Amino acid sequence: MGKYKYLLFDLDDTLLDFKKAEKCGVTETFKKLGIASSDRTVELYSAINLSCWKRYERGEISKDDIYKNRVIMLSEQLGVAIDVEEFSNKYFSSLSMQGHTLPFAFTLLNALSQKGYKLAAATNGARSVQTGRLVASGIAGFFKSGIFISEQIGLKKPDAEFFDYILNTLGVQNKNEVLVIGDSLSSDIRGAVNARLDSCFVNLKGEALPDNCKPTYVAGCLEDVISVCGL
């Protein structure tokens, strides 16, 4: 084991394949609603959803606003009447069963677990959805130190309080033993900076790093996390 003892993993697009899950969820939801969908529909929803989540991260809107606004905006842009509650219920139900993982995710978690690292999940997703997807993915059992979901604990990334809550729950005495691992500069890395924790940016898209939000490490793929952790 390297210098770190506690590893706080983001889920979506770090370990779980959210793009694939989202596509399946949106397509299935539109089918149940009897509304024609296409790749364009999925892409439109994805863009709207991402913009809403970014506003949530910045503290501009609430979690409930995300769920409501994204459906209203989608309905307006498609020119199709969509009931917010009906869409949300069907979408959450479908999404919660999508357990697709990214390549090497299981191998990575297994290797780290075998080496004695204390693994925890730290996500901004909805409780029912993230819990269901973790179970469906088969990786839930690796997070023996806890699964921390913003909707459940009432705190969110990138706020320092989100990470402080996790550290207090885990009984962490030394922040230098903690590493935050995630794919989002605005959520995971900014949150780690705010909480004064080391971070590993899983940069699968080759994003440029802003001057005001530097991760401690950059991993070009999940395999690189192995060396970051000192294995």
Residues annotated as part of the active site:
10, 12
What is the spatial distance between Cα 53 and Cα 178, in angstroms, rounded to a whole number? 26
Question: CB under 8 Å to 60, separation ≥6 — which residues?
Answer: none
CA–CA distance, 59 with 92 (Å, rounded to integer): 23
- What's the token pair of residue 43? 């892409």
Q: Is 11 helix (H, G, I), strand (E, B) or coil?
A: coil
Residue 98 CA to residue 132 CA, distance in Å, equals 8
Q: Strand runs (DSSP E) across the chain, as ranges?
A: 6-9, 118-123, 147-149, 178-182, 198-202, 217-219
Rounded to whole angstroms, how far apart are CA atoms 8 and 182? 8
